Structures are given as C-alpha cells and as structure tokens.
Amino acid sequence: MTPTFFIVLTITVAISAFLIFQIIYNLHRQKKTEKLRAAFKKAAAEFGLSISKSEISGNRAIGFDAISNKLLYMQLTGHKQDGYLVDLEEVKSCKVKRTYTPFWNGWTISGVLVQKIALQLNYRKVAKPLRLTFYDNWMDPASETEEKAKLAARWQTFLATRPYIKRATKNKTSPLRPLLHLPRLFHRAGE
C-alpha cells in the first residue's frame, strides 16, 4: 500500500463514520420528536383543547387554544414528561427572560454563557411568575441558543398581542386549574 492510498482510505473511513453517526443521531431525534408530538396531542385531548397554534422544538412543545384561551406547554426530560396548562386570562404580562452563568478561564471569569432562556408569565393574583423554558444549557446544544431565543420571542410577541393578557378578570381562584387526572405530568403555578 502506498502512503497516498492509506491517507485516502483513512479520510474515507472517517467521513463514513461521521455520516453514520449523523444519520443515527437524526433518527433518534426524529423518534424523540414524534414521541413528544404524540404525548402533546394526548394531553391536549385529555384537557379538551383545540390547539390552533403549536410548535415543537427539541424536547419541548407549546400550543395555544384560541377557543378556551389556554396555553399548553410540555417538556420531555429522559423518560419524564413535565408540563403546564395555563389559563391566559389570569396572565398579566409575559417577557423573555435569560439567565447567565459565568465562563471561567482558569481562576478568572472571562465572560458569561446563556444558562436558560424562558418565557416568563406574570400572573395577576399569584406572586410567583411561571417560567416556560425554551433553552437550557444542560439539555440543549449551544448551537441552538439563538434559534430557541427567537422561538421564545415569537411566543412573547404572540401572547402579548392577545387582548386577554391585558384584560383584568374577576372571580378566578387559580391561574392553573387543578389537573387531577394527570398529577405527575402537569403542575400548578408556584409548585
């Protein structure tokens, strides 16, 4: 074997291994997205929601029901499903909230990294706001930071233009209805 042939063979094997890894990664990601989509549709059906706008990004799904003015949010973490059903008539305002963590270079801080990007929902009657995570540096690749930030901003703009966000409501006891039939899947505000 000549050295040129050996170099070409090595490069070919490396490229093939990379492509196989990419195909397996994309198939795994597609399967995970389909699992999330099915769980999201099932949760929407359980709550009698008619989702008119929805988006799935990574391991998170968010959807809006225009008829009942509710927002459904779901996140898959490993084999665990976590989610919120939000009555938007109880939401006073919303904003995109970024949290940062320091980036250390030896003993000195050389900058900051985005730790989380979330859509923060501020309620009229509940003191503690709810944060719906769109990016978490422990779960999402850093390359998706801007994509997730744009997604959160789109939902902030969408929700902020809804008239019921600005309207005060009366005789509501809880921004999130107790979700008795899916206790581990969904949470109430403040939990």
Q: Over the stretch 32-87, which tens digit does the pLDDT of each residue have?
A: 778 888 889 999 999 999 999 999 988 899 999 999 999 999 998 877 888 899 99
Q: Over the stretch 103-119, which tens digit does the pLDDT of each residue have?
A: 777 777 777 889 999 99
Give this prediction's pTM: 0.70
In three-state form (DSSP H/G/I as H, E/B as E, the rest C), the secondary structure along the chain is CCHHHHHHHHHHHHHHHHHHHHHHHHHHHHHHHHHHHHHHHHHHHHCCCCCCEEEEECCEEEEEECCCCEEEEEEEECCEEEEEEEEHHHEEEEEEEEEEEEEEECCEEEEEEEEEEEEEEEECCCCCCEEEEEEECCCCCHHHHHHHHHHHHHHHHHHHCCHHHHCCCCCCCCCCCCCCCCCCCEECCCC
Q: Over the stretch 138-165, which tens digit does the pLDDT of each residue have?
A: 888 888 999 999 999 999 999 988 765 5
- The predicted model gives 127-131 an average pLDDT of 88
Q: Over the stretch 160-189, which tens digit does the pLDDT of each residue have?
A: 887 655 433 333 433 333 333 333 344 444
